Structure 1
């Protein structure tokens, strides 16, 4: 039977790109999002409307996938997330709580629901972190805390479920061309400044990040678990040559 992959945040740039790649490889893709209209043109076998920031919504996504496709997904890509660029002293408590809910709570609930659906079977999951959880970047305290929690979750769960044959990894993208960043990157000065930060130059595409998620989910990464892969043009590890 053809493998099933469940992608949350499937209507976003990275999730949409991954859905297209996995569908082209012949997988049955269950695309999950909160807005049915935004899911309409995502390449998928099944489209599921669910709010995965709640335990009930996460459970609904898995239950619907199992009911409609006949089996639990052996691959999970959790691409739900938001961002915030603001110093901590200007971050309101309600904004902070919303960041935690969307970025960290959703990861916990989706992983919990997916593991329950697997019922002891092996599988592969990948989560979305950020370079700001890897290296200190000014004015990103709240989102760094949320994504740092995702990375800690990935490492601990990878240790717990390795004996089951479950691999759990994450990617930490740098600035990426997606609908979420369009408002910033449409400003020429911001785009130019962002591109200069990366040793490889420029701003990466959503498909370039999706390529790495795709690889982590597949057999080519069969010996990787508990890893956080920075997809950032060298931002977190090397400094560009200044001329």
Structure 2
């Protein structure tokens, strides 16, 4: 029986790219998103419309997967996310709450539902953080706080469930070509400026981030847990020689 992988945020750029990779690799993919119409073209064995920013929505996604595919997913990729670029003194309470709901609440609820469904069985999960949780970037206070919470969740849960054989990791992407960043990259000058921030140059693709997430879910990363891997062209760790 092939491995079941549940991917949340599967209609987004990174989630869709990961679904394509895992599906092509023989996994039975359960693709989860809020909008059923946007999931229609995602390669998957099962498509589930659910809002995973609520406990009931997260539980529904897991239960639907179990019922339709016959077992709980042993792989979980949580790709739900949003961004907010605004200084803290201009961040409205509603906007702050929304960022926390989408990015941090959803991660907590999905991890909770997934661990409960496995009932002591081993598995692997990967979550999506951001470079802004790893290094200070101006005007990103709210989203940095939310993604920082995701990273702390990953480390603590990795410690709690290591004895069960669960591996829980995250990636922290830099600027990535997705529908969410399309507005920030729509003009050539904007794209060029964004690319210059990264030591390796340019803007990375969703597929490049999905490559690392797929690896973290696979046997090649069998000794990794509680890790956050920056997929960012060196943004958070490298200062290239200026010429």
Same fold (TM over 0.5): yes
Distance 2:16 2:71 in 1: 22
The DSSP-based 3-state class of the residue aligned with 1:135 is coil
Task: Give the deviation of 1:106 after TM superposition.
Answer: 0.1
Q: Report how far residue 241 of structure 1 moved.
A: 2.4
Q: What is the TM-score with the length of structure 1 in the denominator?
A: 0.99
Give the aligned partner of residue 221 of structure 2.
Answer: 221
CA displacement 1:179-218 (0-9 Å, x = unmatched): 0000110122221111001000000000000000000000
- Cα deviations across residues 5-59 of structure 1 (Å, max 9, x unaligned)? 0000000000000000000110100000000110000000000000000000000
Q: Deviations over 1:79-104 (max 9, x none)?
A: 00000111111100100000000000
State the shift of 1:242 in Å.
Answer: 1.6
1:195 alignment partner in structure 2: 195
Contact 1:127 1:169 in 2 (8 A): yes
TM-score scaled to structure 2, two decimals?
Answer: 0.99
Aligned to 1:22: 22
Distance 1:39 1:199 in 2: 35
Secondary structure of the 1:167 match is strand
Hey, what's the Cα distance between the residues in 1 that align with 2:240 and 2:144?
23
Number of residues of Structure 1 aligned to a counterpart in Structure 2: 243
Q: Answer yes or no: is 1:90 the counterpart of 2:102.
A: no
Q: Secondary structure at the match of 1:105?
A: helix
Specify the alignment match of 2:65 in structure 1.
65
The secondary structure found in structure 2 opposite 1:99 is helix
Give how far 1:144 is off.
0.1
Greater shift, 181-190 or 38-47, is seen at 181-190
Q: Counterparts of 1:239 and 1:73 in 2: how far apart (Å)?
A: 40
Report SS of the residue matched to 1:240. Answer: coil
In structure 1, the residue corresponding to 2:226 is in which secondary structure?
coil
Unaligned segments of structure 1, at least 5 residues: none
Deviation at 1:177, TM superposition (A): 0.1
- Judge conservation of contact 1:199–1:241 (CA < 8 Å) in 2: no
Distance in 2 (alpha carbons) for counterparts of 1:50 and 1:189:
38
Q: Find the aligned partners of 1:86 and 1:177 in 2 and give their Cα distance.
A: 21
Q: Quick check: 1:198–1:240 contact (8 Å CA) kept in 2?
A: no
SS at match of 1:224: coil
Structure 2, gaps ≥5 residues long? none
- Structure 2 residue 124 is the aligned partner of structure 1 residue 130: no
Distance in 2 between the 1:240 and 1:86 partners? 28
- Per-residue Cα deviation, 1:52-71 (whole angstroms, up to 9, x for no partner): 00000000000000000000
Structure 1 counterpart of 2:206? 206
Paired residues of 1:155 and 1:227 also in contact (CA < 8 A): yes
After TM superposition, give the deviation of residue 129 of structure 1 in Å: 0.1
SS of 1:180's equivalent? helix
Aligned to 1:139: 139
1:24-63 correspondence to structure 2 within 5 Å: 24-63=24-63
